[in-house]
Chains A and B, each alone.
Chain A
Amino acid sequence: MAGKRKLSERPGGGSGDVQWCFSQVKGAMDDDVAEADIISTVEFNHTGELLATGDKGGRVVIFQQEPESKNQPQCRGEYNVYSTFQSHEPEFDYLKSLEIEEKINKIRWLPQKNAAQFLLSTNDKTIKLWKISERDKRPEGYNLKEEDGRYRDPNTVTTLRVPVLRPMDLMVEASPRRVFANAHTYHINSISVNSDHETYLSADDLRINLWHLEITDRSFNIVDIKPANMEELTEVITAAEFHPDQCNTFVYSSSKGTIRLCDMRASALCDQHAKLFEEPEDPNNRSFFSEIISSISDVKFSHSGRYMMTRDYLSVKIWDLNMETRPVETYQVHEYLRSKLCSLYENDCIFDKFECCWNGNDSVVMTGSYNNFFRMFDRDYRQDVTFEASRENSKPRSVLKPRKISTGGKRKKDEISVDSLDFNKKILHTAWHPLDNIIAVATTNNLYIFQDKIN
């Protein structure tokens, strides 16, 4: 192995020297989880100062990192609740006899342009643009109004005064600024803001639409894979994302394990891909499960824009955008599950959609697994590690101990056997701070925040 670089030389990166420590956990401790409390999405904003979560009950909670205190320069600020609001509510489409869940599928932050923060949140059918703004001053001394807001009798007004702004306790308000509705027949699985900061895409199972952030009454359809005869349907769109700096480029993944890269300059309707990324499959290895486990549940561009990462049921793959024939790196998340596929099919776990994420400098990738395990793969050092998000390892600043799963007959001490894994404890959503070694990991109803140890 090449000489290890010091942590100080690898900002935001590397699992080689990094010791991950527990920082905080949010959410109820009891085992009885209400369905509404199931976390469905986690996302840092572009500076990492804000961390948003969405849940099955349609609610969004935003945490803000406290600024580093001068007293404890070694500790990074904690994340505390900044704002919370009901983003979406359950609906019933009577015309189509369709129940529309309020579950927040995705949240994406807009880059900050002024004092306010903006984010897009979406459920299965409707995308909303939310403005989160701070109010720390209020005007006092109106001419025509009392302090409590009641209007004064004009006959009692004898002098003229100018209202002044006085400081007040910080109030954070969230208001819906745009509602982008009625553009999706099928269920929205992704939204992605363009690098032009003016447009964004939304993708459902069969179509992708392009929106302008200011315009809610129309959107352009840019991908449509619906066959003329639905009997001929063989694949659906599972995820889509805009390139981080090429505003004309986006990718979408399919349930068959392929990724298509499209260039919006080529034509208005991007049904013809510019590139098709697909790893050839050995026909001898094909089984009933092959297609199901090859379905891509998440696709994410690297920050550099040179690579993209896909997550299928058992692995994480890194693709070089310049090479369509196969991924450049493949990491096994939980290969030991290959001999459990029958029961995972029966309990529907085989359809679980795991997400994945990059660290700030694209040197490490992370994804979740079962039993509240999550995995990190260091691309530079070719190391991988498994950690567990649990209340037992939740002492402040306690270092996380790597977990090992025993696959063979002999189980060593401290190893966990595959048969004792809890498949109800799944980590589907994780997020990595864009600049720092801070990660947010969502279990079913709790949010864990881990940081690397600063010495």
Chain B
Amino acid sequence: MSEQEEGMATVEEQQEMEDKVISPEKAEEVKLKARYPNLGAKPGGSDFLRKRLQKGQKYFDSGDYNMAKAKMKNKQLPSAPTEKTEITGDHIPTPQDLPQRKTSIVASKLAV
């Protein structure tokens, strides 16, 4: 290891330390941008708010659903992904995709 390389490494470390001292928040931002380079320049802007306003959206087309149900009798459709992804567009919802909403008839455990 040459003397020069060692010197440069220390300067970089110093810079990093300085950044952290100046603003831990900015250091965190640098970390985030490094992991997600495509993150929009506009922080917390419309995209993020719109996602918040769309909570609960489950796309459902009864026509597609019934046709898919009929088709399933003849052939196997590709099975739905097991994780809770947004069901949109080309994906035709099957009975397995729709969450079974049961009412909570079980009493709350706080009331024991």
- Residues in A lying within 8 Å of B, measured CB to CB: 26-28, 36-37, 39, 53, 55, 57-59, 61, 81, 84, 86, 89-90, 92, 94, 97-102, 124, 186-187, 205-206, 230-236, 255, 285, 287-292, 295, 338-342, 345-346, 445, 447
Contacts and interface: CB of A to CB of B under 8 A. Distances in A.
Contacts of B20: 339
Given A340-B28, A342-B28, A101 B49 contact: no
Given A92-B58, A101-B56, 16 more contacts: A28-B112, A36-B106, A58-B104, A81-B110, A97-B58, A98-B57, A99-B99, A124-B56, A234-B49, A287-B25, A287-B29, A289-B43, A290-B25, A290-B43, A291-B44, A341-B24
Contact of A230 (B29, B50, B106): B50
In this complex, the member of B55, B56, B62 whose beta carbon has the largest number of chain A beta carbons within 10 angstroms is B56
Given A234-B45, A285-B23, A288-B29, A97 B110 contact: no
Contacts of B99: 99
Contacts of A53: 108, 110
Nearest to A345: B32
Nearest to A94: B60
A342 B31 contact: yes
Given A36-B104, A57-B104, A291-B43, A342 B57 contact: no
How many chain B residues sit at the interface, stated as a range, is 35 or more
A445 B112 CA distance: 13
A292 to B, nearest CB: 5
Nearest to B61: A97
Interface of A is mostly: mixed
A289 B44 CA distance: 8
A90 to B, nearest CB: 4
Given A37-B108, A291-B44, A341 B28 contact: yes
B104 A59 contact: yes
A346 B28 CA distance: 11
Contacts of B32: 288, 341-342, 345-346
B56 A236 contact: no
B52 A287 contact: no
A37 B101 CA distance: 16
Given A58-B104, A94-B60, A447 B110 contact: yes
A290 B26 CA distance: 10
A90 B101 contact: yes
Given A61-B110, A339-B20, A187 B28 contact: no
A135 B29 CA distance: 60
Given A28-B109, A84-B111, A339-B24, A89 B58 contact: no
Nearest to B26: A287
Nearest to A344: B28
Interface string B70-112: 0000000000000000000000000000010111111111111
B46 interface: yes
